[in-house]
Amino acid sequence: MYAENKNSGQNAPHPADNAKHHERGSLETPVQFVPGVGPYRSRQLERLGVQTLGDLLYYLPRRYLDRSLIVPVAKLDLSDREFTVVGEVAAFKIVGGGTKRRRFELDLVDASGGLRIVWFQGIQYWSKAFKRGQAIAVSGKTHHYRERLQMTHPAVDFLDENESLGLKAKTGTIISLYSSNAALRAIGLDSRGFRRIMAEGIKLSAGHVPDFLPEELRSKYNLLSRADTLKMVHFPEKMDQKEEALKRLRYEELFSVQLTLARRQYLRKAKQQGIKFPHPEPGALTSRAVKHLPFKLTKGQLSVLTDIREDMESQYPMNRLLQGDVGSGKTAVAMMALAMAVEGGYQGALMAPTEVLAEQHSRTLGVFFKELGISTELLIGGLKTTERKRRLKAIVSGEVDIIIGTHALIQEGVDFAKLGLAIIDEQHRFGVAQRLKLRKKGTTPDVLVMTATPIPRSLALTLYGDLDVSILLEKPGSIKPITTRILNGSDRDKLFDFLKTEIGKGRQAFLVYPLVEQSEKLDLQAAVDSYKELKGGTMKDFQLGLLHGRMSTEEKDRVMTAFSSGDIDLLISTTVIEVGIDIPNATVMAVMGAQRFGLSQLHQLRGRVGRGEIRGVCALVIDPPITKEARDRLAVLAETEDGFKIADADLRIRGGGEFFGTRQHGAPDFKIADPIEHRDLLEAARRDAFEWVERDPDLKQFVPLRAHFERAYGPRMELMDVG
Ligand code: ADP
Ligand code: MG
């Protein structure tokens, strides 16, 4: 996490190793010295990453049982919500077997009546878990069985006697519940066990909890002190207190992540030596390139290029994200940036996520730059050995100026003579490691990553937290609004009629079938079958093409070239065409099984049409059975073409963790805060962190805070180093 500090990190001695040097009760106290823990339990706790008293206190409740939500048995009903019942175990037994299904039944009683609870699974475990007379809380939904209410497989929490007394006596207790597992429960560390050792831990730490957030920040947001926070997060008296405690913990977490990013950005800009590209002479290559474009750059494109120019001329390495919706003209920006690199005497590289896309870029850039006397070369997998060797040689000798390619660019054996600028197109398709590899192909080259994925700002701040961000808002006038229609599977014929009419007017169309991993063959088949069926029937008068991921590079290339030169009228494909393809004469995008795609993915597909003079049409065909949910979801696309709005809707539907597989792409894994849900707090923490780095670049004040987070997050945070 803090790469510049060699003394911290994984190699640092663990606090528990030099416990002697720590005052008893300090948060560094090894957890085994907490009363009630001991050597045996501490070994199990270490498996959870809990080694010190501090770690223990940061092991937060998974949820809270609010007494006010507890319902007496007599008041239970069949409504479809979760109830919590607190009572005593009256009886239990294993029943059934033979013809009757084996199960474990338990009768729970409270002052108002009795409730039957049933387990069909984990019978062995549960049959040993209870004692008669024991107080427990169960949470779950009720259902009817033979005229009686019962609960099946509820969540169970064991309660202390005084807790259950407390509950009965209606004192204002809130009970914290902790994640546990069989091994922990076996040594008494269920929620009740945890509450006991937490209480001891709080007692032990009294007077030893330094606050690592400065007073200035605490008072700014009215945050609890750290000592109060830890007390209240485990033993709140009211639900508000737990909220206050959580707010402070979330801020702490978000702030330290942002502090790391801010520090890294500071180091990059202040300390790292990048390439200092010269300021251009009038009439130099880039200005000739700008004039050579078939269109005038938009204001947005020009302003992004100014950002890039500044970065490239500065002494620090550029690390910039260009966010621009589909069709906003990112390729032209990339081309001009590449021209700047070549003008400065360096090579430039453009990496795309798919071969189809790399080839398209190679065609566009190849023609354009050739006319300016700049050489380009394509590097993808599957080249013949002699051809590959020839191209590698041209790259390492510096004979070629601009290299376009796929992952093949970052493989071993690919060496550049003088890589000055690395651009990554559709960056969300690449992992962090791949970005890093491309960067390492040069000596601190400038890096520009481009994405059409309108990542909500809050996610962008954590995903790309130390990158500078440029946004292309407007689309060039050449891009027209697209008409989007949602169709039922049964309207296929209407769709094909429409396709025929359009193609009859000399236009081209896409027909896309979904490709779902689990049934790749099947879906592939859908595209292939449709191709055959249409070719022999409805569409026999037209030129049809088929494109899918299993075809060889040459085949794909042949099909794409034929489509872009107009030799194919209707391209039937799986989602291999998803990103980046630019064919102005294509006006219809028909997507079959549209409900199986993510909204942002569909938005990308739709962005493939309507790039020329004529307005595009996008038909989203839903397979039966059509649910209202699927329809509502797709309706978002019919309503807006704003990629940000669509991404937000996607996010609401699919949730943050799922978003474009952020996990796999190296988003820091927050433990407490959620960058989406707590986005306001995140923004605030980010501002604070960046301000603080300005004032105190070495962050001397925050040594304990950073040490804490480095310990708690360790290697997971290292991913963020890559940026
Ligand atoms: P994306 O940002 O989705 O990668 P592209 O770079 O493919 O978008 O550009 C979309 C289309 O807009 C292309 O056909 C491109 O030639 C065209 N284009 C880009 N910039 C301009 C401009 N300034 N004026 C007119 N057309 C432009
Ligand atoms: Mg593009």
Which pLDDT tens digit goes with each residue over 424-441? 997 766 766 777 788 888
Whether residue 577 has pLDDT greater than 80: no
Ligand 1 atom index nearest CA of 296: 23
Among all ligands shown, which has an atom nearest to the Cα of 323? Answer: 1
Distance between CA atoms of residues 323 and 610, nearest Å: 21
Whether residue 504 has pLDDT greater than 80: yes
pLDDT at 5: 40
Among all ligands shown, which has an atom nearest to the Cα of 333? Answer: 1
pLDDT at 360: 86
Ligand 1 centroid – CA 170 distance (Å): 68
pLDDT at 414: 93
- In tens, the pLDDT along 644-656 reads 788 777 776 665 4
Ligand 2 centroid – CA 326 distance (Å): 7
Phi-psi region of 191 (alpha: psi -120 to 50; beta: other; left: phi over 0): alpha
Q: How confident is the model at residue 19 (pLDDT cuts 50, 70, 90)?
A: very low
| Percentage above 70 pLDDT, the chain | 86
Among all ligands shown, which has an atom nearest to the Cα of 427? Answer: 2
Ligand 1 atom index nearest CA of 330: 2
pLDDT at 701: 87
Q: Which residues line ligand 1 (CB under 6 A)?
A: 295-298, 301, 324, 326-332, 452, 476, 478-479, 580, 582, 584, 611
Ligand 2 centroid – CA 576 distance (Å): 14
Query: Ligand 1, from 582, 614, 641: best to mutate by most atoms within 8 Å of Cβ?
Result: 582
Query: Ligand 1, from 301, 331, 361, 363: best to mutate by most atoms within 8 Å of Cβ?
Result: 331
- Residue 578: name the closest of 641, 521, 513 by CA: 513
Greater confidence (319 vs 466) lies with: 319
Ligand 1 centroid – CA 232 distance (Å): 55
Ligand 2 centroid – CA 425 distance (Å): 7
Ranges 36-45, 355-364, 511-520: which has the least confidence = 511-520
Whether residue 8 has pLDDT greater than 50: no
210-332+418-478+665-723 adopts what CATH topology? Answer: Rossmann fold (3.40.50)
- Residue 458: name the closest of 640, 319, 659, 246 by CA: 659
Ranges 168-177, 181-190, 538-547, 703-712: which has the least confidence = 168-177
Do 449 and 352 meet the contact criterion of CB atoms below 8 Å apart?
A: no
Q: List b or e across 623-639, with b for residues whose CB sees 16 or more CB atoms inside 10 angstroms.
A: eeeeeeebeebbebbee
Whose structure tokens read 């330290």?
Answer: 256
Ligand 2 centroid – CA 250 distance (Å): 37
The mean pLDDT value of the chain amounts to 84
Give the DSSP per-residue string, 367-435: HHHHTTT--EEEE-TT--HHHHHHHHHHHHHT--SEEEESGGGGSTT---SSEEEEEESSGGGS-HHHH
CA-proximal residue: ligand 1, atom 18 (nearest):
329
Distance between CA atoms of residues 159 and 190, nearest Å: 10
Domain boundaries, the chain: 1-62+181-208, 64-177, 210-332+418-478+665-723, 347-406, 483-640
Burial class (CB in 10 A: 0-12, 13-18, 19+), 68: exposed
Whether residue 551 has pLDDT greater than 50: yes
Under CATH, domain 483-640 is a member of which superfamily? Answer: P-loop containing nucleotide triphosphate hydrolases (3.40.50.300)
Among all ligands shown, which has an atom nearest to the Cα of 358? Answer: 2
- Residue 60: name the closest of 182, 235, 187, 205 by CA: 235
Distance between CA atoms of residues 10 and 711, nearest Å: 8
pLDDT at 682: 87
347-406 adopts what CATH topology? Answer: Rossmann fold (3.40.50)
pLDDT at 10: 43
Ligand 2 centroid – CA 468 distance (Å): 20
Ligand 1 centroid – CA 612 distance (Å): 10
Instruction: List the shell of residues around ion ligand 2, using CB closer than 5 Å.
Output: 580
CA 143 to chain centre: 38
Query: Ligand 1, from 302, 305, 326, 328: best to mutate by most atoms within 8 Å of Cβ?
Result: 328
Say which CATH architecture domain 64-177 belongs to.
Answer: Beta Barrel (2.40)
Distance between CA atoms of residues 427 and 435, nearest Å: 8
1-62+181-208 with 64-177: one CATH topology? no
Ligand 2 centroid – CA 569 distance (Å): 22
Among all ligands shown, which has an atom nearest to the Cα of 605? Answer: 1
- Residue 621: name the closest of 524, 530, 541 by CA: 530
Q: How confident is the model at residue 93 (pLDDT cuts 50, 70, 90)?
A: very high
For residue 490, give the amino acid letter.
Answer: S
Give the DSSP per-residue string, 303-334: HHHHHHHHHHHSSSPPEEEEEE-TTS-HHHHH
Which of 69-83, 152-166, 265-279, 406-420 has maximum average pLDDT?
Answer: 406-420
Ligand 1 centroid – CA 523 distance (Å): 32
Among all ligands shown, which has an atom nearest to the Cα of 305? Answer: 1
Q: What is the mean pLDDT of residues 498-513?
A: 92
Do 534 and 474 meet the contact criterion of CB atoms below 8 Å apart?
A: no
pLDDT at 225: 97
Query: Ligand 1, from 290, 293, 295: best to mutate by most atoms within 8 Å of Cβ?
Result: 295
Q: How confident is the model at residue 164 (pLDDT cuts 50, 70, 90)?
A: low
Whether residue 561 has pLDDT greater than 90: no
Say which CATH architecture domain 1-62+181-208 belongs to.
Answer: Orthogonal Bundle (1.10)
